[in-house]
Amino acid sequence: MSLQDPPAPAKPRAVLAVVLLSVFSFALLQSLINPVLPQLQQDLQTTQALVTWVITAFLLSASVFTPILGRLGDRYGKDRMLVLALTALAVGSLVSAVAPDISWMIVGRIVQGIGGSVLPLSFGIIRDEVPRDRVPSAIGLASALTAVGGGVGIVLAGPLTDALGLRALFWIPLGITTAAALAARLVVPPSPSRSEGSISWSSSVLMAGWLLTLLVPLTQASKWGWSSGRVIGLLIASVVMAAAWGVTESRSASPLVDMRMLRIPAIWTTNLVSLLLGTGLFAVFGFMPAFLQSPQGSGYGFDASVTEAGLLLLPMTVAMFAAGLLSVRVTKLLGARIVLTSAAVLNVVALAMLAFQHDHMWQVVIAMWLLGISFGGAVATMSNVIVAAVRPDQTGIANGVNANVRTIGGAVGAALMGGVLSANLGDAGLPTENGYIYGFAILGLAALGSVFAALRVPKRDKAPVPVPQPS
């Protein structure tokens, strides 16, 4: 069948179903581990410092591979890269499931991080295969399902561990991602639009270098000390390599990331919003379970179990899903700028509540509900803004960069929160209430920056013109 022939009626639905399964499997795997890190530390007989690398290794790997596979998808086919990303998730899950010690567990998580490109690749496939008038709603659904998978992972972590053991948190995602990879191989057709030129591997190495030297000190600063030589040296190295990467990309005939694309107003503003929103959300995902599980004798917390803590975060998951679905219609009525600004304001309010109004469980639930509305609506809206602003062959890398920026923001937020809590420990070794107050307040200040960034997003009647195809 030629590219001009209309697809069979069932084809877009089948492709969308596979894409949604892929997105859900990645989101589920991403969040299952966070609530059970203490139990995983005991199971692997390791230290708290090493067990945090189960999260950090995944974060670093995803940061490096997400934009690379996004670009490879634009060049060689999003369908092929989606199968590769899902296969990496499955292989990494297998390695982690049978890991005899912390070293192999970290290796498994690094392999899983390659699957971080599932989301941008999925958005690109939706743009290629779904009828144009249904693309915004399909992307909104995929974005909402990202939130659902993340929330379901947090909620299920406790019951699955109690019923089947810790390693079930890897065996179950292994089965889902394997099924998704097979379905993608059979159902998703070859990409109709591809970028020209070869991949600049020198740019890939430089990008990986500056991301690693940025994220490692940010995630380890609370242990090494912000003024330590390792932190300062790595941050300086990151700046140098980032500058070299920018120069290399600007001069490349086939850049990994087109610098002209990043200068499109719709792109740089949404990336800035993504960075600052991610700062708060990832920190809340990482630290709220511990906050909820803390004994009330510490001056805060609710003595919640792992399962109860997950259920308390369930309203946020529901709100994310609903907001992601509704954001498409609201954006059509009001425009992306108003939706993103409103989401950013809700994010500030939610973090302020967590900082200063957390004595009662209902206060925390409301704050998490507001945070879910904020993030669910923002992610779906940002994805649609980006898809509308770039050429079809740039969809994967553009969304990959946006997801990566959000990950970097999450690393910054988690590092800031971890550093503040480590500096405010009580006699029992638990963070004091002031530690959480200061931490959430700092995240709220970062969220305030996202409000000003959202106000710079172009109006819908002044939609950006995609950069031209280079000759």
pLDDT value for 462 = 42
Q: Is the pLDDT of residue 10 over 50?
A: no
pLDDT value for 348 = 95
Residue 207 binned pLDDT confidence (cut-offs 50, 70, 90): confident
Q: Which residue has the higher pLDDT, 142 or 110?
A: 110
pLDDT value for 65 = 84
pLDDT value for 259 = 78
Q: Which helix (H) or strand (E) holds 347?
A: helix 336-356
Residue 193 binned pLDDT confidence (cut-offs 50, 70, 90): low
Tokens of 50: 């090493």
Distance CA(379)–CA(277), nearest Å, equals 9
pLDDT value for 465 = 40
In this predicted model, what pLDDT tens digit does every residue of 331-361 receive, in sequence order?
888 888 999 999 999 999 999 999 999 888 8
Q: Which amino acid is at 452?
A: F
The mean pLDDT value of the chain amounts to 82
Distance CA(336)–CA(455), nearest Å, equals 10
Q: Is the pLDDT of residue 6 over 50?
A: no
pLDDT value for 237 = 94
Tokens of 333: 């009525």
Q: Bridge-partner residues for 431, per DSSP? A: 425
pLDDT value for 46 = 83
Kindly indicate whether the domain formed by 7-191 is annotated with CATH number 3.30.465.10.
Answer: no
Q: Bridge-partner residues for 376, per DSSP? A: none
**Of 105-109, 150-154, 383-387, 414-418, highest mean pLDDT:** 105-109
Q: Is the pLDDT of residue 239 over 90?
A: yes
**Of 16-30, 252-266, 391-405, highest mean pLDDT:** 16-30
Distance CA(249)–CA(244), nearest Å, equals 9
In this predicted model, what pLDDT tens digit does every residue of 276-295 receive, in sequence order?
988 888 788 778 878 888 88
| pTM higher than the cut 0.85 | no
In this predicted model, what pLDDT tens digit does every residue of 70-93 receive, in sequence order?
778 877 888 899 999 999 999 999
In this predicted model, what pLDDT tens digit does every residue of 15-26 receive, in sequence order?
889 999 998 888
Q: Which residues contact 424 (CB under 8 A, 6 or more apart)?
A: 431, 432, 434, 435, 438
Instruction: List the end-to-end C-alpha distance of the chain, in Å, as a whole number.
Output: 29
Tell me, which fold does domain 257-471 have in CATH? Growth Hormone; Chain: A; (1.20.1250)
What percent of the chain clears pLDDT 90, i.e. is strictly above it? Answer: 23
pLDDT value for 7 = 42
pLDDT value for 317 = 79
pLDDT value for 197 = 61
CA nearest neighbour of 47 among 59, 38, 55, 58? 38
CB 87 within 8 A of CB 235: no
What does the domain layout of the chain look like in residue ranges? 7-191, 200-255, 257-471
Q: Which of 322-326, 373-377, 437-441 shows the lowest per-residue confidence on average (mean pLDDT)?
A: 322-326
How confident is the model over 141-170, as a mean pLDDT?
A: 81
CA nearest neighbour of 22 among 113, 119, 99, 135? 119
Domains 7-191 and 257-471 agree in fold: yes
